[in-house]
Structure 1
């Protein structure tokens, strides 16, 4: 590409997402760093940054984006808003054949669109370069502490989504006064990093896994648990991470030892459906199952946390799980229940901060590829469809895309 005109689209998915790929200041930084780049913004009344904030910095507001080379959003674009023949960047949620987006992928192919999915943008070593994971961890941990405090009537925190930004949210940290509880954080990626960032700033001390399991403390503490801390392959004595990720179905969970000492669980680890769940619903009925609050930050329904029976919304983030019956109950309805926080779009609660971090990644990793012939093939690897055709790596999605047409025809015949 030589000259490249990028349009920031108005988010159209309902419920509306307030995040944006580029904040006003990041737009300005981008065009200064890349002289051949032009950025325009489609006006939006719901975006966390007002149109006036872009206009004040000289970023053009343009309702019609049909003259743009690249269109960037955050969430899935409604089918009727797709402009034929364009190159789009957004989270499409199609690579796992998510049923609700089959029609979207079909429309992308029919409209000769090139789709590049943020989720698939990786460096040469396979690490994602553009993600909202850190803020999922930050908000998820905050929500977990808020939930624990509310359940035990210890303190009341302002919900994250009512905070103007992270600075405002951090003012709430001073209200947190916890007894000598133990908090388990699973995972080692961006999400877990964000969660630990909050716990550290709240003054909660990190301890080793051994001390967490076997020592008593007079203050609240947390431990970071990696896969090898709570999984074992019965026929192998030495832990081997590559083998676990390649063959998770051969492993068994040993998380039971943690359920006996943990008060609050923050689930931040990626979970492969072939891997064992952390614990079973039957185990929650055991007298020594101590966990009474779970922040399922990964929010895999019926995933690694079997008590996560459904996701929750930002305004209503919590429900109770009755460990005796397995039924879901109203939040905070009984001290004997396990209280679950399972919001599935956590970064939306701090949209201004999350958007700033995201834009930093776009400038550092994505825009350079526009002007260096996609050196290293980062964009190529993340391209699901090119000019209306599935790329070789994603041809497995053809039947999935066609299924929306087949379903429609079946219904019309009926």
Structure 2
């Protein structure tokens, strides 16, 4: 790796995506340590561009990485790339969601292969034990549980809009008189699960905390006896479903809202195969059952953007020291590169 590290943080093209991979204060920390950092203007990023300029970043127009960014630089982002250019020649760092057989993985990896570029997927940024080193899990869990409670109370409106944590909590705290909601959080001791439990505590909702012990010998009757299910478990191998379609018609079912924070729909890792498509900001809820015993699912794959400032600052604090290690040939990034090459080979072999 060269002694001088150059990073280019791109504008996010997905609607309603206001997060940033680097907060301005962490951009400053990188620059103070000799990193050359270019930041694109953005019409939707939660942090104003003048804060990056004040930190010492070079400011360029949004979307200009395609034509202006040198091929040897790392292009940093969070969510998916636009469809063009068709050939990807840079070293990109973002959540590609391309290594677990998700929809669209093959075409994305072929774009990198055809252009000679590399995807260093943030999903693969893990330690030797496979634990994520930088993740939005806490705020994904917090937002997912909060939306479930608001929907159960009839307070969720669409389309969703980004908020501060203070504004969200102010909506969560007032509990209707006599309300007695219960929730079960699966994966309760991971980042997302802890975030979900924090939100439920703010809402005054009793939470059952389930982890691997409870899912290995799953008590489906107990699961169905809760009002809300928040799934925040992360797994790298298929597991037995937590719910099946037959469970939705169980006459004993009390469960009325599912918030699938993990959102592995379309993958063989999906532990909730009772719905077949993600929901979004325009339509955050899908009805699985209607009439007298409704059951709804919330499955939004960029939940942390509901709280973009808090989520971005927490993620950025984890990420910036790891970015600094790019110039040192860190084993962390070598593992990402290995995962990319293995995924490309798998696509070619398939």
Report TM bin, short chain: 0.7 to 0.9
Q: 1:159 to 1:271 in 2, by over 3 A?
A: farther
Give the SS at the match of 2:153: helix
Q: Residues 155-177 of structure 1: CA distance to partner in whole angstroms, max 9, x if unpaired?
A: x3677943532222222233234
Q: 1:263 to 1:47 in 2, by over 3 A?
A: same
- Residue in 2 aligned with 1:217? none
- Residue in 1 aligned with 2:52? 54
- Residue in 2 aligned with 1:311? 278
- Residue in 2 aligned with 1:66? 69
Q: Residues 357-393 of structure 1: CA distance to partner in whole angstroms, max 9, x if unpaired?
A: 12111113x124224331xx110100158xxxx6357
Alignment of 1:258 with 2:256, yes or no, is: no
Q: Is there any run of 5+ residues in structure 1 with no aligned partner, and where?
A: 151-155, 205-219, 233-252, 323-328, 401-414
Map residues 189-208 of structure 1 onto 2, 5 A cutoff.
189-202=190-203, 204=204
Q: Of 274, 278, 290, which aligns to 2:242? A: 278
2: CA distance, partners of 1:267 / 1:61: 40
2: CA distance, partners of 1:373 / 1:163: 37
Alignment of 1:141 with 2:145, yes or no, is: yes
TM-score between the two structures when normalised by the length of structure 1: 0.74
Q: Is there any run of 5+ residues in structure 2 with no aligned partner, and where?
A: none
Give the SS at the match of 2:84: helix
2: CA distance, partners of 1:338 / 1:168: 27
Q: Of 283, 290, 295, which aligns to 2:259? A: 295
Q: Of 334, 345, 359, which aligns to 2:316? A: 359
Alignment of 1:226 with 2:226, yes or no, is: no
Give the SS at the match of 1:383: helix
User: Offset of 1:349 from its aligned partner?
Assistant: 1.6
Q: Residues 55-77 of structure 1: CA distance to partner in whole angstroms, max 9, x if unpaired?
A: 34442202344246221011222
2: CA distance, partners of 1:60 / 1:266: 42
Q: Residues 278-310 of structure 1: CA distance to partner in whole angstroms, max 9, x if unpaired?
A: 233223323322212222222333732343333
Q: 1:272 to 1:109 in 2, by over 3 A?
A: closer
Q: Which shows bigger deviation, 44-53 or 346-355? A: 44-53
- Residue in 1 aligned with 2:31? 31
CA-based RMSD: 2.7
Q: 1:285 to 1:66 in 2, by over 3 A?
A: closer
Rg comparison, structure with higher value: 1
User: Would the aligned equivalents of 2:257 and 2:296 in 1 still touch at CA under 8 Å?
Assistant: yes
1: CA distance, partners of 2:163 / 2:226: 32
User: Would the aligned equivalents of 2:87 and 2:111 in 1 still touch at CA under 8 Å?
Assistant: no
2: CA distance, partners of 1:161 / 1:337: 22
Give the SS at the match of 1:222: strand
Map residues 328-367 of structure 1 onto 2, 5 A cutoff.
334-364=291-321, 366-367=322-323
Q: 1:83 to 1:255 in 2, by over 3 A?
A: same
User: Would the aligned equivalents of 1:300 and 1:308 in 2 still touch at CA under 8 Å?
Assistant: no
User: Offset of 1:11 from its aligned partner?
Assistant: 2.1
